[in-house]
Structure 1
Amino acid sequence: MLYTAEVLTIGNELLTGRTVNTNASHIASRLTVMGFSVRRITVIGDDLDEISKAIREILARSPTIVVVSGGLGPTYDDMTAEGLAKGLNRPLVMNDEALKELREKYEAKGLPLTQERLKMALLPEGAKPIRNEAGIAPGFTLNVNGTDIVVTPGVPKEMENVLESFLNRLARRPPVHYYEESFLVKGVMESALAPHVKSVVKETGVYIKTHPKGHETREPYLEIQIAYSGENAERVRDTVRRVNERVKAIVRELGGTILEGVENSQ
């Protein structure tokens, strides 16, 4: 069974370029390391119709998991919960658990629960809040026709906190182990390496990607990424390391110089 994932990030600032969408890359990286196959990353603005349309389109593809980020705050343009409720044809209701969390946080600050602050406890019917230990607005999760949806705040540290809380208790985890290694190369062109990479990928089934780097310097270089996943962690690591050495040998034969390497596994 293939465990698929999609990422939906929401915010006008992402579309105007004012804010770099680091949330999307972080979420995609975490899901990939866990063994999910991330199929799409969608970016939309703070618009009810766009949000409701996007979630319906995503759910029509039946991914295993959807991570939504942004738009959970107290301002007028924070409308993710409302947009999701609309897209799911569910009412937006005051969630007692989310309200309790907000009350605790604002009482600790000596601040009243205004209408704007109460807004953060309005969630789609059936949603389960996820406590936000790095900020105010709670995240939430719900399952729709077999798809797990988790919604996080847009502030990066808050997104990471809520996402990790959700992933730590996620029941449907891919029964696979993911492992990757990468190294940097100078002195060989991507186009020269391309046919060799294609041949190795075809033979082994291991994912190999070349990333051109350093265009702002006099000596551009390549990052070679090698990744694989499977049920047996030891076999996965051995496969990646074997292919890694094979690609390095090819690089040397082409006159390239290997600079450094990193690894990433789950």
Structure 2
Amino acid sequence: MSLRDRVRKAVRTGRQAVLPEPEFRTASDQEAWEDAVALWNDLFAPFSPILQGADVIELGCGDGRLLGAAMATGGARSAVGFERQAWWNGGGGGVAWRPGDITGLDLRVGIDGVSALDEGAADLILARELDGFIPLDSLEFWLAELYGLLRPGGEMLARVRCGDGRGDPQAPGYGFLTPTAWTVLVLGAGFEIADTRRVWRAPAQQGAAAERLPHASDDERLTAELHLHLIRPWESWELDALHGFGDQGRGRKRKN
């Protein structure tokens, strides 16, 4: 473990990842802010990510309030969010607000803009529902892109849903991705898995999953969601460059 990784681990262990509610909210959108803070505290805070001073990217950022809270009360340095429509402007019936009032917060529509970001642009990537935002036919491409966006030692926190064998690309986990399949995909992209949490299927769903996945283990077929804490490790060429050895120009290239 490098010195930087040891420092990050110590900071993570010694800090509180729970976000307080922003003080700037108004009565009209109080519930929306409370929902955003609750989402952070329930889904991401248990992994104790390093938020203070971090450059953050969120895929499927909803109305952007979670990133707004990360900037306003969590100490993040910058935040870029991507969503399919501008919920923050009232799209889809969302409660509109003014993210432009928060310096360093940038909310964008569409997934393609992710590729326009610089390599190593982020310390922390969040994805509240990765399989609901990234299309199946480009999943491996986007996982590699996200790996490239993280600095060495950076973190990615992602909720992924698991398929029950239906094979429907629009279904959770694209209908067929089990916990093992997700594990193979993130490891194949280069990530290390620091921690994993499971959410089990409701009892009413367990029988159908068992019928469709008869040869899978109980953990495989009964897992409805995986919450993943992924680390972008230091690669050997980066460690060589850090110590003044090797070709400092080598590395993973951003795809265009």
TM-score by length of 2: 0.30
Structure with the greater alpha carbon radius of gyration: 1
- Higher RCO, 1 vs 2 (CA within 8 Å, ≥6 residues apart): 1
Q: Which has the higher strand share?
A: 1
